[in-house]
Amino acid sequence: MRSLKTAAFSTAVLLAATACGGSGSEGGASEAPGSLTVWVMGTAQDPLQKYFDTVEQRYQEDYPDTSVEVEFVPWSDAQQSINNALAGGDAPDVLEVGNDQVANWASQGAIMDITSRTEQWGAVSDMDQAAVDYASYQESQYGVPWFTGVRTLYYRSDWLKGLDMEPPQTWDELVEVAKAIEEEQDVPGFAAPTDFTNGIASFIWSNGGEIAVQQEGEWQGRLTSAETREAIEFYAGLTTEENISPQAYVGENELVPLADMANGEVGMYIDGGWALTSMEEQAEDPAVLEDIQAAPIPGADGIAPAFVGGSVLTLFATTEHPDAAFDLLKTMSDKKGGKSYADAGGFFPAYPEMLDDETYQSDPLKAAAAEQLKHTEVLPATPNWNAADQDGKILPGAVLDIVKGKDPDTVLEEANKELTKTLNKPVA
């Protein structure tokens, strides 16, 4: 069994900054190891501890002498921890990474190419294929989806009921409902923060546009296409022309309207299920939260695609036991393990067939996200995406400039050139 290193834990979840992975070749040893280490991003919570107890029990049906040791790594420490492991420090066997980080770590040699293994595992074909594709790099598979999550449209159900209106499903309805809310409640009807790539992307995708596409190994920005330009101008116009989103959100991300939503100061905004905990912390009157509901994100003519967020399980490149480690990965992410972790963490399983389950349909907030998960897209799967978005803020910067009154054609032409240049920079 796993040894305890934190006395307060009744489960055998390790939180000490140690791991058992070591240097080794991809071929690995075939014998069962004495232990395998999993790095999980985030903080330990009781439901997650119980989940890993069950994982170990299931895993030991085939590997009775192998213990499963788990270290929780705060997301803020993830990059440094993985870099330290790459430099020869303590390393895991199985590693959780954000699905938008797969290309980055694959390009750096931190995670293992598991294509041959996933091709022989039938469960992969039942997973969300957009999420599966996002766990690949240069046509090789480096991980499998562990859980998924999406953003939805939060709204005040009591306000819409008083207006005899339904949650908007299209852009036109979004404007109509937002204006009605403002007229009745004297608060902004909708929040359109400019520093919000994932939200802006939904508007682009719903109009048939793209941020960038890959052709013959080269990335091409698509910010100047008619469909993308129209969507960006519409989003910017929610502040400048329709006036349903206030100037207070210009230059801001979704955290500002989150606090406003929790305190009855905005009628609608876009965010993920993870925002509910923050709303609970920030609400001056908890009763307000009872009237906050969710619906799929409205698009140009119907439900807009949302970025399919979530995490991927991978094998660290230096694991000495890749076969045993992949079997552990399968235990954690098969239909039983994947659903159990999603339920424990407040996410959704990576298997679309499960989204109609009563577990998700009986709760209106979860039902909205489950429906949204049927309409998803992914951001450019390249190690350079972070440089383009988090560092360069190319797309949100363009939206900000347009909101500030700069010529959209000029702004998008320059942004598109910079995006294409950044995405095609050589990967070290």
pLDDT tens profile 292-310: 999 999 999 999 999 988 9
pLDDT > 70? residue 107: yes
Q: State yes or no: pLDDT of 25 exceeds 80.
A: no
- For residues 200 and 16, the model is more confident at 200
d(CA 186, CA 144): 47
Tell me if 200 is assigned to some domain: yes
Same domain, 269 and 203: yes
Here the CATH number for the domain that contains residue 326 is 3.40.190.10
Greater confidence, 126 or 374? 126
Q: How many CB atoms lie within 10 A of CB 277?
A: 10
- Closest residue by Cα to residue 272 from 197, 207, 199: 199
Is residue 139 included in any domain, yes or no? Answer: yes
Query: Residue 115: which region, alpha, beta or left (left: phi > 0; alpha: psi -120 to 50)?
Result: alpha
pLDDT computed for residue 428 by the predictor = 67
Starting at the edge strand that comes first in sequence, how are the strands of the sheet with 309-315 ordered?
A: 67-73, 35-41, 94-98, 309-315, 144-149
For residues 232-246, average pLDDT: 98
Predicted local distance difference test score (pLDDT) of residue 22: 34
Residue 227 sits in the same domain as residue 370: no
pLDDT in tens, 29-56: 457 899 999 999 988 888 899 999 999 9
Q: Which residues contact 290 (CB under 8 A, 6 or more apart)?
A: none
Please check the confidence at residue 23 and state whether its pLDDT lies above 60.
no
Residue 24 in any domain: the answer is no
pLDDT band, residue 19 (cuts 50/70/90)? very low
pTM over 0.75: yes
Q: How far apart are CA 306 and CA 292, in angstroms?
A: 20
How far apart, in whole angstroms, are the C-alpha atoms of residue 119 and residue 297? 34
Select the more confidently predicted residue: 246 or 343.
246
Kindly state whether residues 264 and 347 are assigned to the same domain: no
For 81, the domain range is: 35-149+309-376
Mean predicted confidence (pLDDT) in 379-398? 93
Q: Let me know whether 159 and 96 are in one domain.
A: no
Region 335-344 average pLDDT:
94
Q: What is the pLDDT of residue 275?
A: 87
82 lies in the same domain as 197:
no
| pLDDT band, residue 404 (cuts 50/70/90) | very high
Is the pLDDT reported for residue 166 higher than 80?
A: yes
12 domain-assigned: no
Indicate the number of domains in the chain.
2
Q: Is the residue at 29 inside a domain?
A: no
Asked if residue 358 has pLDDT above 80, the reply is yes
| Cβ proximity of 192 and 235 under 8 Å | yes
Q: pLDDT tens digits, residue range 126-149?
A: 999 989 999 999 899 999 999 998
Does residue 93 form part of some domain? yes
Rounded to an integer, what distance in angstroms lies between the CA atom of residue 197 and that of residue 212? 13
Are 360 and 370 contacting, i.e. CB atoms less than 8 angstroms apart? yes
Q: What is the pLDDT of residues 179-197, one digit of tens each?
A: 999 999 999 999 999 999 9
- pLDDT on residue 333: 98
Per the prediction, the chain carries an average pLDDT of 90
- My answer on whether 264 and 213 are in the same domain is yes
What band does 427 get if pLDDT is binned at 50, 70 and 90? confident
Average the pLDDT over 225-239 and give the result.
Answer: 98
pLDDT at residue 67 greater than cutoff 60? yes
Tokens 């698009």, located at residue: 299
Identify the residue with better confidence: 122 or 19: 122
- Pair 157, 302 in one domain: yes
Question: Is 391 in contact with 383 (CB distance < 8 Å)?
Answer: no
Closest CA to 109 of 85, 127, 79, 86: 86
- First-residue to last-residue Cα distance in the chain: 41
Question: Do both 313 and 418 map to the same domain?
Answer: no
Looking at residue 309, its pLDDT comes to 86
Domain match, 252 and 365 both = no
Same domain assignment for residues 139 and 214: no
Inter-CA distances, 242 with 156, 199, 235, 236, 266, Å: 20, 18, 10, 9, 16
Do both 370 and 284 map to the same domain? no
In a domain, 13, yes or no: no
Q: What is the DSSP string of 57-111?
A: HHHTTT-TT-EEEEEEE-GGGHHHHHHHHHTTS-B-SEEEEEGGGHHHHHHTT-B
User: E strand or H helix at 377, and its extent?
Assistant: strand 376-377
181 with 134, same domain: the answer is: no
Confidence (pLDDT) at 362: 86
